[in-house]
Structure 1
Amino acid sequence: MAQKPDPKAPPRQADAPRIIISAFADEAANSKSVVEQFAVLAALGLEYYSPRFLNVSGEVKNIMKLDKAELKTVKSLQDDYGLSVTSIGSPIGKVKLLDQDDGTHNRFVPFSKYLKEDVAIAIDRARALDAKMIRGFSFYHPRGTNPVPHVPQAAEQLTAIADKCAEADIVFALEVEANLIGQNGRLMADLAHRVDRPNLVCIFDGGNISSQNLDPVKCFAEFQAMRKYLGYLHIKDYRIDEKLEWTGVVDEERLKNFVPCDRGDSGHEAIFRDLRDNLPAIDRKMKRLGLPGVFLELEPHLKGGGQFGGFSGPDGLGVACRALCRLLDYVGLDYQLRTFDHIRQARGF
């Protein structure tokens, strides 16, 4: 059933920028095969995706582990399916800030080595797939400690990462996520302010906020806190489980309540209204950086999620995509999906 537009939504302007819907392709595929991932995205009408886990030659690998031949295959297939890369879905920044035993399995890598090896690999992936952007994170502080005192060191390391990306004309997109130093909008804004690089933008993810037992009002406040530095959004939502005792740390393996973006506690309707009003400025910023516009990237985790990824299946990604489109229609945000005109163009008409 079509979603009736919100009567309070302002009239749509003909020249208003349009949202670009994207997705983490591995969310869609039961086998993680590249062909399955790309076929689902094309059927949903998407033109952009972020690579994370892929089965190119019989083994599921993270994008950081693909060899040159596998990257070449991915590039060829993405061209065949009419896809372009939103960002490299790298795990950059998901390592310990300090070499301390905090009871987690998170690894520590000396930063000079990390910058020279891991960050360089992510940049290589971006070049191989004609990507303009790399997704990353803000480092793990010792579990159970206050993240605030660690902001200066994290910002210093993120500055070095952003500068290395800038050398390759690549944007570094920093995602908000629980358990990391940038675990809320206020801390993300502090980090971005300290880094102060034009090629660093922030990614808001409602599910990564609401899964910290924050209600829609608090989630919206975190969105507003980081909006100045916003580049795009991941679309994930979570319904708070009142049976789980909140300990201040998200046990990512216990998260079971991911839902479509119109059913959770992230408050996406209010977030999208705010985005609608601020979209022209954010769109201009992203285009100045060489991106095609502002992405809303599906990462719904409807069949489960963890520390380094999630899964929705082809059916779940379809459910999530339709929920997103319904909500965008309701608040009056235009978006871009493939149409028959795209088919005609591909056929040379």
Structure 2
Amino acid sequence: MIYLSAFADEISPDPTEQLDTLLMHSIRFVEFRSIFGINVLDLTDEQHEQFRSLLKERGMGLSAIGSPIGKIKADEPFEPHLERYEIALKLCDFYECPRIRVFSYYIPQGSSPADHRDEVLRRMAAKAEIAQQRGVTLMLENEKGIYGDTADRVKEILDAVHSPALAHAFDPANYLEVGQPIDKAWTMLRDRVAHFHVKDYDTKLKKNVPAGEGEGEIPRLIADAVSRGFEGYCVLEPHLLVAEASTGFTGPERFGDAAVALQTCLSREGVTYA
């Protein structure tokens, strides 16, 4: 069984509107990135208490803590970033959600990924070791400008760290944006995928589009994953109106378009979802 989730801050900064819109489209999980325009790691204890209450009132939960962990330059100090990481780990306990979305560090301008390989692998291994001790799984997302922006380097990280606490959050649009062939990426990584970000991309228009309308092969990939025993979350991250390095925005109306597009694709493929 797969479960539908979403980066609800793509709908609105207001948490009530976020959750009510998700329920309108029969989506009961959130990839928690922000509310009130404030990143999940920077919210107060009171704001977290209030949001958890909203989730419980609606019978909803989290698919992951949608953290920005790993979104610093590979040569920036690591210790302060570990303190941010600790916040994310504590939120896993607070929300009873043992998953954190992470990244593999920006490559500083003027250098190459190879220049930072050892440091990136060291940092990823350190975080995975901590995550395993805490019963948490890190979902490594591929993204442009990050060490793990291509399938080869994502696989390199996963192989080098070799931890059950580190898996792949596959983002088709992000692969397309860096010129990575989707078929190659999927064939190389499908057995390592534990999380799916539903973001499609049209390379001719150079913009994000609803699932199934771009070249991300989203319906086929999800169907293939399910046929291979995938059980996990397919997380809407449409980026239909705004697509930036740290966030995206879709709005409630276009989010509805994105949700319907995904659900229609899945139904056509005969994929059961909740």
**Shared fold by TM > 0.5?**
yes
User: Post-superposition, which runs of at least 4 consecutive aligned residues in structure 1 deviate over 4 A?
Assistant: none
Q: Does 1:270 align with 2:220?
A: yes
Q: Work out which of the two has the higher radius of gyration on C-alpha atoms and give 1 or 2.
A: 1
Q: Which residue type is aligned with residue 14 of structure 2?
A: S
SS class of match (1:188): helix
CA contact (8 A) 1:185 1:224 kept: no
Q: Which residue type is aligned with residue 27 of structure 1?
A: E
CA contact (8 A) 1:95 1:140 kept: yes
Aligned to 2:8: 25
CA contact (8 A) 1:175 1:205 kept: yes
Q: Which residue type is aligned with residue 203 of structure 1?
A: A
C-alpha offsets along residues 27-64 of structure 1, whole Å, 9 cap, x if unaligned?
Answer: 112xx111111111111111111111202xxxx31111
Q: Which residue type is aligned with residue 91 of structure 1?
A: P
Q: Does 1:126 align with 2:92?
A: yes
1:319 aligned to which of 250, 257, 274: 257
2:80 aligned to which of 101, 113, 116: 113
CA contact (8 A) 1:258 1:304 kept: no
CA distance in 2, matches of 1:213, 1:202: 19
1:85 aligned to which of 50, 58, 62: 62
Higher relative strand content: 2
Q: Which residue type is aligned with residue 74 of structure 2?
A: L
Gaps of 5+ in 2: none
C-alpha offsets along residues 137-188 of structure 1, whole Å, 9 cap, x if unaligned?
Answer: 0001223543245333212111111122222211111101111000022211
Length, aligned pairs only: 274
TM-score (norm 2): 0.95
Residue correspondence of structure 1 range 12-161 to structure 2 within 5 A: 18-29=1-12, 32-55=13-36, 60-98=37-75, 108=76, 110-115=77-82, 117-161=83-127
CA distance in 2, matches of 1:175, 1:19: 19
**How many Å apart are 1:225 and its aligned residue?**
1.4
SS class of match (2:93): helix
Q: Which residue type is aligned with residue 48 of structure 1?
A: F
Question: Which piece of structure 1 moves more, 267-276 or 133-142?
Answer: 267-276
C-alpha offsets along residues 196-246 of structure 1, whole Å, 9 cap, x if unaligned?
Answer: 1111111000111112245xxx1121122122221111000111146xxxx
CA distance in 2, matches of 1:273, 1:144: 40
SS class of match (2:74): coil
Question: Percent same amino acid at aligned positions?
Answer: 28
Gaps of 5+ in 1: 1-17, 99-107, 243-255, 284-293, 337-349
- How well do the aligned residues superpose, as a CA RMSD in angstroms? 1.6
CA contact (8 A) 1:220 1:270 kept: no
TM-score (norm 1): 0.75
C-alpha offsets along residues 77-99 of structure 1, whole Å, 9 cap, x if unaligned?
Answer: 1111111011001100000111x
CA distance in 2, matches of 1:111, 1:146: 19
